[in-house]
Structure 1
Amino acid sequence: MSDYDEWIGFERTATDTVSERLAEHYRLTLDAMLADGDDLPGVHWCLAPDAYPSADLGRDGHPRTGLFLPKLPLPRRMWASGEMTIAEGLRTGDTVTRVSTITDIRFKSGRSGDLGFVTVEHVYSAGGATRIREKQMIVYRDDPDPAKPQPAPPQADAWQTVRQATVETTSTLLFRYSALTFNGHRIHYDHPYATGVEGYAGLVVHGPLQATWMQNMATSLLGRPPRTFAYRGLSPLICGAPAIVEARKGDDRLELRVRNGDTNVTTMQANAT
């Protein structure tokens, strides 16, 4: 752990604008899943994406580790979970400054092997005020061992939903969202890499896209952007499977999930207030 102490507190700042082009392409990509109104829930994940020369990319198409994210001794990276507080949403024309700080690095062993977790805190400001605070966790994993098949994820339980929608996941949808976010991760477009190197059953639907569906559904049900939104990835959603986006009422919050319509496995869950 001491090898990574110097990364704690590492910070960078980026600025971007929710341009009319970006807003229009965002709306077209989300299509029926976009909430009504001027706010664009989830558009902050499209702003100021990491952009490096080709020489600075890793084998997965992401910027190589050691530039902003630390170079942990585990080759695979994925979006694990996060918690957001939202003072006000983002709209077309907003110029947004994001300050990102690495706040924690830790390791643990799980059923699938060794794991490394990096926590990054983001603060998004516009118009002189903080709009969104997000604590995001990125997980590093080892390459899969074909001799050790992963345990099957549990089936989703039955929900009494207040809203449900189905999204057809296609390679075109994945391409469009990757373009919005300048995401070069090869698991979203390179089938031989996704299956042969990282061990997935096919192309993988982006975690932020699934979280965006849930955030927009929560906004529609609440009649405003949620004040808090926490999300967690549970299982990969493979392109081609219908994504069932669902919400139900909890005691003091909305509970949301994305479910694989073919396997009835929950791929991502969230709650919103």
Structure 2
Amino acid sequence: MAVCSGDRSWGSRLNFYASMPIGHELRKVSTIKSVKAKTGRSGQLVFVTVGHQVFDGDTLGIDEEHDIVYREEPKADAPASTPPQAPGTTDFSRKIEPDPVLLFRYSALTFNGHRIHYDQPFCVNSEGYKGLVVHGPLLATLLLDLLRREKPDATVKSFEFRAVSTVFDNETFSVHGAADKDGETFHLWARRQDGALAMNAKATIA
């Protein structure tokens, strides 16, 4: 079994309760909340939800539910899924041109040793991808950064995201945002070069 970081059932739900000051010693508590086995079009799947809580002393700063999908090696004749198209209208956006250096740096930053993000020969020849896989969390980081650029003085209260389709380093993609009528909820998404939806997200601010 291998982590399928590009699976559309991959995502997280985060709530931010308190600031985490630089220089403080933080404590992280992780708990497996659920494990569910299913059979999909590509074979056996195991869905795992892990809870992460980050404390500054006794103060809870971040509470996260993290969904991970494990899958068996897909069969050669497994049908390919067709992702939905991304929304056509947007309030603000940014074009991203990924490259191996960006992916390598993010892997190093997040201590991610999965070779599909930085070892191009392995990724293409052994895993069958058409390029290096852009990290799901990197897409989420870019979406949250897009909101920060649009609302630099806002405080993010919650953020949730779910991967929908895979993005590769040899394709340009874009990140988008649109404000809800309440002015505090923002819908965010990543759009692939072919117009397909790569990630869907939502954030609330104060």
**Range into which the TM-score falls when normalised by the shorter chain:** 0.7 to 0.9
Structure 2 partner of 1:272: 203
Native 8 Å contact 1:84 1:133 kept in 2: yes
Structure 1 partner of 2:167: 237
Superposed counterparts of 1:182-201, under 5 Å: 182-201=111-130
Superposed counterparts of 1:28-107, under 5 Å: 75-79=1-5, 80-107=10-37
Query: Judging changes above 3 Å, is the alpha-carbon distance between structure 1 residues 241 and 88 closer, same or farther for their aligned structure 2 residues?
Result: farther
AA at the equivalent of 2:163: G
AA at the equivalent of 2:130: A
Pick from 110, 134, 145: which aligns with 1:181? 110
Matched, 1:218 2:150: no
Residue 128 of structure 1: how far off its partner (Å): 3.9
Matched, 1:110 2:75: no
Native 8 Å contact 2:41 2:78 kept in 1: no
Query: Judging changes above 3 Å, is the alpha-carbon distance between structure 1 residues 227 and 148 closer, same or farther for their aligned structure 2 residues?
Result: same
Native 8 Å contact 2:43 2:75 kept in 1: no
Structure 2 partner of 1:256: 188
Query: Judging changes above 3 Å, is the alpha-carbon distance between structure 1 residues 82 and 228 closer, same or farther for their aligned structure 2 residues?
Result: same
For residues 121 and 220 of structure 1, the distance between their equivalents in structure 2, rounded to whole angstroms, comes to 29
Residue 219 of structure 1: how far off its partner (Å): 3.4
Structure 2 partner of 1:148: 78
AA at the equivalent of 1:214: L
Pick from 129, 142, 164: which aligns with 2:93? 164
For residues 167 and 187 of structure 1, the distance between their equivalents in structure 2, rounded to whole angstroms, comes to 19
- Report Cα offsets for 1:152-204 as digits up to 9, x if no partner: 32322312x22101121000001111111121101101223223333322100
AA at the equivalent of 2:200: Q
For residues 62 and 41 of structure 2, the distance between their equivalents in structure 1, rounded to whole angstroms, comes to 34
Sequence identity percentage: 38
Query: Judging changes above 3 Å, is the alpha-carbon distance between structure 1 residues 192 and 143 closer, same or farther for their aligned structure 2 residues?
Result: farther
Native 8 Å contact 1:83 1:229 kept in 2: yes
Superposed CA RMSD in Å reads 1.8
- Report Cα offsets for 1:203-234 as digits up to 9, x if no partner: 00111111111122233444323211110011
> How many residues are paired up?
197
For residues 147 and 155 of structure 2, the distance between their equivalents in structure 1, rounded to whole angstroms, comes to 7
Higher strand share: 2
- Report Cα offsets for 1:102-153 as digits up to 9, x if no partner: 1100012233332111111000112541111000010011212222341332
For residues 89 and 214 of structure 1, the distance between their equivalents in structure 2, rounded to whole angstroms, comes to 20
Query: Judging changes above 3 Å, is the alpha-carbon distance between structure 1 residues 237 and 137 closer, same or farther for their aligned structure 2 residues?
Result: same
Native 8 Å contact 2:42 2:75 kept in 1: no
Q: Under a length normalisation based on structure 2, what TM-score does the superposition of the two structures give?
A: 0.87
Match of 2:26, SS state, is strand
Q: Which has the higher contact order (CA 8 A, sep 6+)?
A: 2
Q: Which runs of no fewer than 5 residues in structure 1 stay unpaired?
A: 1-74
Structure 2 partner of 1:5: none
Native 8 Å contact 1:143 1:197 kept in 2: no
